[in-house]
Chain A
Amino acid sequence: MTYLSGKNMVAAYDYNVPILNNCSIEAEKGELAVIVGPNGAGKSTAMKALLGMLEISSGSVTLAGKDISRLSVQKRISLGLAFVPQTDNVFPTMTVQENLEMGAFLRTDDISQTMAEVYDLFPILHDRRNQLVGQLSGGQRQQAAFGRAMMTQPTILLLDEPTAGVAPKVMDEIFGNILNLKNSGRAVLMVEQNARQALEIADKGFVLVSGRNEHTGTGKELLANPVVRRSFLGG
């Protein structure tokens, strides 16, 4: 049984123009799943459907076997999902520490343990904990965004294009962080524009075209697939 699974999802912003047509996405604990595909393929939409930011008209979303298709975003977050949006994913005029506190807003128990874990994972955040997040570099800001999302102690992290608009060197750093998150036993699902690099580190890959699964397989399989290479990876 897969941990987070969206099966045959159909969803639309406008009733007549479905963005997702029978799209299925899965993510397993301790694994990194990647959604790739051309612009407008419905990658981010698939993620929003899993999160509940967009209602699906048919299909289902299950978490550890439990149907969560009809739950609100807040409810799904309290069940262990965490989401890092592509842009505006931090509170820029608040300090790193305050950002983490806000991530744990719904928790009523002691959060210092979780905060220590986040600082362990991202030591630079500990050094900068009293600095405003708006003053951090792009890579550090992304770490703060990951850290904020981890404060709910999620079992699965959903990342929407975590490397969008960052320098190649920073991109490697971010991918490194993502692997750390995965190795800590969580499930990680991300949408990624940089398909080749993403598939190289992915355990599972989903290639979406026009809202349906065009190819599915392990990262290596997809990279080796000549059709995928020709169509999506530039040869």
Chain B
Amino acid sequence: MPGFTDIINAIVLLLNFVFMPALSYGSQLALGALAVTLVYAVLKFANFAQGDTMAFSTVITILITWLLQKSGITLGFMPTALLALPFAIIACIIYVLLTDKFIYQYYRKQNSKPITIVMASVGVMFVTGGLVRFILGPTHHIFADGARFIITAREFKAMTGLAEGLAIKTSQFLTITIAILLVGFVFYFLQKTKTGKAMRAYADNKDLALLSGIDPDKVVRVTWMLVAVLTSIAGVLYGLDKGFMATSYNQLLLPMFAAVIVGGIGSPIGAIVGGFVISFSEAILTYAYKKFLIYLLPAVLQPDSLVQFLGTEYKFAISFVILVIVLLLRPTGIFKGKVI
């Protein structure tokens, strides 16, 4: 039988290597997925440019962060990128409004089929991705400065006397706090403000919204602005956590789309739940449980192998498999969204 401290150690081990990473990665996915679902609900198309727009915002943040660092402005133990973020949000708002004006608006006025607009967004994805690589290249950039940890594993061990440490990275702490605040704001906005309700009305029944005097151009504009805020923050938080690389942002598209579909397409709460379903599935299935089991099992049963269900290189397969399972068993998703 494992002793009490063994059990606690095993739990702390999981919290440190599965729960915390999944919680922060899930928050980042959730914010991105929320942006995808808002575009889908109001503008009626799946925005393939989401991942690369996140990269675009992050690039702007990185450039401004460098500029600030050069001028000797930092944010102490917090990353300087937080100071750069508001500028990146403004740049992103301008960018998405311009893509809307020069690309999506045309198809909207034509009443084009959703698939046509989706293809246009694929074009925007390629152009944005190209722009991002043109500015920062395809390499990996780490732009998080300040203190790396709020609590390090060693501090935790010293405090508790356990063999295992629970480290809390600054980026994880920031991600979770900001995600909670932002999601709270988005829901308040959609449920309580007149503009938010007009957005929902427009998403629900466009013709009746027009008959009620709701200005469609304003709804579209506000939606893009909200999407730009979510996109920028999701992108920068992901970058602070994992570093910036153009391709990894592009690859976020699959888990974000999976999150949206798992949660229910067009459902904001679904996007958030979906984000965590994907991130926790990835973390749980790709973690090597060897050390965890050593704590819990008697010596004779202790494994020699890693006890890892899937290698981390297969984590995208997990999103894909979840996507397929949901589409087969419950195409409307958890929160009864639209079926494409």
A residues with a Cβ closer than 8 A to B are 73-74, 77-78, 83, 85, 88-94, 98, 101-103, 105-106, 148, 152
Contact = CB atoms under 8 A, between A and B. Distances in A.
Contact of B204 (A74, A92, A105, A152): A92
7 contacts: A85-B208, A88-B205, A89-B208, A98-B201, A105-B194, A105-B213, A148-B212
A74 B211 CA distance: 7
Contacts of A148: 208, 212
Given A105-B213, A105-B214, A85 B207 contact: yes
A85 B213 contact: no
Interface in B200-259: 200-201, 204-205, 207-214
Given A77-B213, A106-B213, A91 B200 contact: yes
Nearest to B213: A106
A98 B212 contact: no
A92 B214 contact: no
A88 B214 contact: no
B197 interface: yes
A102 B207 contact: no
Chain B interface mostly = helix
Interface range on chain B (Cβ under 8 Å from partner): 10 to 19
Best-buried of A91, A94, A152 by chain B (most CB within 10 Å): A91
The 3 closest A-B pairs by CB, nearest first: A106-B213, A91-B204, A102-B201
Given A85-B207, A85-B208, A91 B213 contact: no
B212 A105 contact: yes
A74 B87 CA distance: 38
Contacts of A105: 194, 198, 201, 212-214
A105 B212 CA distance: 6
Interface in B21-56: none
B191 to A, nearest CB: 9
B201 A91 contact: yes
A91 B198 CA distance: 11
A85 B212 CA distance: 12
Contacts of B198: 102, 105
Contacts of A92: 204-205
Contacts of A83: 211
B204 A78 contact: no
Given A92-B205, A93-B204, A101 B197 contact: yes
A74 B213 contact: yes
B97 to A, nearest CB: 23
Best-buried of A77, A101, A105 by chain B (most CB within 10 Å): A105
A94 B204 contact: yes
A93 B205 CA distance: 10
Given A88-B207, A91-B209, A105-B194, 7 more contacts: A77-B211, A90-B205, A91-B201, A91-B204, A94-B197, A102-B197, A148-B212
